[in-house]
Amino acid sequence: MNPSPTAPAPSRPRVWRERVLLFVAYLAILAAFPVNTPFDSKLTLPTTVSILREGNIALDEYAPTFEKYQHGVYEQSGHVYNFFPLGPSLAALPVVVLMDVGARVAAPLGGLHPALARPVERWRHVYDAKGEIPLEEWNDPQRLIASVLVALAGVVMYVLGTLKLSRPRALLLASAFLFCTPALSTASRALWQHGPSILCLSLVLLCLVKAQAEPRWAGWAGLPLALSYVMRPTNSLSVLLLSAYVLWTHPRQAVKFFAGAVAVAVPWCAVNLANYGELLAPYYHSDRLETNLALMSEALAGNLISPARGLLVFTPVVLLSFWGLWLDLRARTFTRLHGFLLAVVVLHWLAISTFPHWWAGHSYGPRFFTDMVPYLTFFLIPVVGALGWRGAQARRPLTATFGVLALVSLLIHVHGASSRKVYQWNSTPVDLDFHPERLWDWSDPQFLGRR
């Protein structure tokens, strides 16, 4: 269902006010969920603070901490670094600056407002500390910043939805994107790579959809597309295929598109050369993949239907993404962009199934599929547009199916953002990484978190 062509366009101030209010609402909801999952992301914020305070990405000032904590620590030429991608630390920079400025301004009010003084004093202690510091002290700021990035992605998806749907339906689409997928249970719980990744890919998608009516927008997609690779290496598939799409579909925008990409790639490669002596950081090396066909066969199935990691088990609403593709095909609204995005999703599924630990370690549900949520949500647009319960054109079976699948998805991901038991499941009664047969145990599925 397209927006009514006779409806007057809202004024620009009203549009921005609506988006700001939506962001605030999304942020409040995401930040209210209590679960932190700072596993691979423990060194993300220390790296951000090191950039601001020391002007480098090395973590030498925290060296005593790493005598007790080694996960994600990478040593090179006498310096200590975060092994995981630099992108999330860069994405956190503006939020950290705002948080720190706010803390400095609020500090004098502490005597009058004790409830405000405690978080301000904690932040100042964490920000100013050097030497040995418990990494757990970064957990709450991580969750807040991750929620900011994911809430922004939700607003971008809403804006994208308004290009094809009425505003209430666009709100439904964006809310399903945030709360019925790993965007809630994974991306917003800590500064994993996935939160800034889905923000970047949502921006790319918005640019390319707008470019179908106004080609100039295709040129703007190069910047967030390159940033998506800085956030997470598996986004190389989006970089390759969507760059080819722009060259094929919008060749006149190619110079602008690649200029934006180069503006990201050159400084990022320069930082890698200066710190690691090579163009790509160690996390990006291809030797982390494995082509064991037997393991890959299990992984291909597991990433879709495992009771612990299956996308279709934890997020059954995406089953309707494929129905949405069929609706587009039947209505002849299936575009070249749809084809390229579908190819990215399929190749991503193949790529994440080549990881030896395809279950993504101690995480919740289909973490490795999180980055594809923007594309899968885009495929839902014709489904959301077709929903209806009344009138001659009502599609009650489709509406009921969407409601049930969305509700199941919502409950599963709300549980993942609310209960620590679902994470304890990874190590109880035995560690999943040493007993991967648990990935197929339907008598004890992770999403129930009963232990």
pLDDT tens-digit readout, 415-443: 999 999 999 999 999 999 999 999 999 99
Together in a domain, 55 and 196 = no
Asked if residue 35 belongs to a domain, the reply is no
Residue 2's pLDDT band (cuts 50, 70, 90): low
Domain match, 123 and 180 both: no
In a domain, 7, yes or no: no
Residue that is last in its domain, among 142, 160, 175? 142
* Pair 67, 21 in one domain: no
- The structure tokens listed for 200 are 């970047």
Burial 399-417 (b: 16+ CB within 10 A, else e): bebbeebbebbbebbebbb
List the beta strands (DSSP E) in 404-446: none
Residue 282 CA neighbour count, 13 Å, CB half: 12
Residues 226 and 325 in one domain: yes
Q: Give the residues across from 79 on adjacent strands.
A: 76
Asked which of 142, 173, 196 is the last residue of a domain, the reply is: 142
Residue linked to tokens 């609402």:
25
Strands 73-76 and 79-82: what pairing? antiparallel
Point out the domain boundary residue: 117, 142, 167.
Answer: 142
Do 24 and 79 share a domain, yes or no?
A: no
Q: Which two tokens stand for residue 233?
A: 């290496």
Please give the DSSP secondary-structure letter assigned to residue 79.
E
Together in a domain, 224 and 357 = yes
Same-domain check for residues 327 and 316: yes
Contacts of 340 (CB under 8 A, 6+ apart): 241, 242, 244, 245
Q: What is the mean pLDDT of residues 176-204?
A: 97
Q: Which amino acid is at 206?
A: L
Structural domain contains residue 36:
no
Alpha-helical runs (H) found in 66-221: 87-106, 114-128, 139-162, 167-179, 182, 194-211, 216-220
Do residues 195 and 269 share a domain? yes
Q: How many CA atoms lie within 13 A of 148 on its CB side?
A: 16
* Helix 194-211 and helix 222-231, axial crossing angle in degrees, nearest 10: 160
135 with 149, same domain? no
The per-residue pLDDT for range 336-391, each reduced to its tens digit, is: 999 999 999 999 999 999 998 999 999 999 999 999 999 999 999 999 999 998 87
Q: How buried is 32 (Cβ within 10 angstroms: 0-12 exposed, 13-18 middle, 19+ buried)?
A: exposed
CB of 350 closer than 8 Å to CB of 405: no
Distance, CA of 71 to CA of 447 (rounded, Å): 26
Nearest-angstrom CA–CA distance, 95 and 407: 32
Backbone angles phi, psi at 183, to 5 degrees: -55, -40
Distance CA 365, CA 186 (A): 8
**Based on the domain organization, do 304 and 376 belong to the same domain?**
yes
Q: Are 359 and 439 contacting, i.e. CB atoms less than 8 angstroms apart?
A: yes
Q: How many residues does the chain have?
A: 451
Q: What's the number of domains the chain is made of?
A: 2
Per-residue pLDDT at 167 = 96
Q: Are 419 and 35 in contact (CB under 8 A)?
A: yes
Q: Are residues 195 and 209 in the same domain?
A: yes
Poorest-confidence range of 158-167, 187-196, 240-249, 394-403? 394-403
What's the rounded Cα separation, in Å, for the pair 436 and 423? Answer: 15
What torsion, rounded to 10 degrees, do the Cα atoms 394, 400, 406, 412 define? 170
Q: Residue 112: which pLDDT band, with cuts at 50, 70 and 90?
A: low
Q: What is the DSSP string of 393-431?
A: T--HHHHHHHHHHHHHHHHHHHHHHH-THHHHTTTSSS-
Entry pTM: 0.94
Of 413, 360, 26, 345, the closest CA to residue 182 belongs to 413
In contact, 320 and 404? CB cutoff 8 Å: no
- Structural domain harbouring 425: 12-30+143-448
The residues, ordered by sequence, that sit 6+ positions from 427 with a Cβ below 8 Å of its Cβ are 362
Residue 5: band (very low, low, confident or very high) from pLDDT cuts 50, 70, 90 = very low
Q: What is the pLDDT of residues 54-96, one digit of tens each?
A: 999 999 998 888 888 888 999 998 999 999 999 999 999 999 9
Structural domain includes residue 66 = yes
- Element (DSSP H or E) covering residue 76: strand 73-76
- Both tokens of residue 450? 């009963």
Same domain for 319 and 170 = yes
Residue 178 has pLDDT above 70, yes or no: yes
Please report whether residue 5 resides in a domain.
Answer: no
**Is 4 part of any domain?**
no
d(CA 361, CA 433): 6
Q: Which of 52-56, 97-101, 144-148 has the lowest mean pLDDT?
A: 97-101
